[in-house]
Amino acid sequence: MSLFDEDVPKKLETGKITVGEELARLSEEELSERISALEAEINRTQQELEQRSTIRDAANSVFR
């Protein structure tokens, strides 16, 4: 390990996106990867929301 390792920008770790993170230090490739990861997370969250809505609607129809 070099004495100057802390000066080297760290690569974006998969699954380690922080909202509000400083973006200026990221390369174009890293920014594109970040966008892809965020889009995947948005899709995953939307699917979960849709599932919950479906379950809620089913429960409401049973208990009406």
Could you report the average pLDDT of every consecutive run of 10 residues in the chain (64 residues)? Answer: 62 72 95 95 96 91 87
pLDDT, position 63: 87
pLDDT, position 6: 67
pLDDT, position 53: 93
Coil, strand or helix: which one is 30? helix
Which letter does DSSP use for residue 7 in this model? Answer: G
| Residue spans per domain, the chain | 26-64
pLDDT, position 4: 66
Which letter does DSSP use for residue 2 in this model? Answer: -
Which letter does DSSP use for residue 12 in this model? Answer: P
Question: For tokens 């802390």, what's the residue?
Answer: 6
Alpha carbons 7 and 45: distance in angstroms, whole number: 35
Q: Token pair for residue 49? A: 């929301």
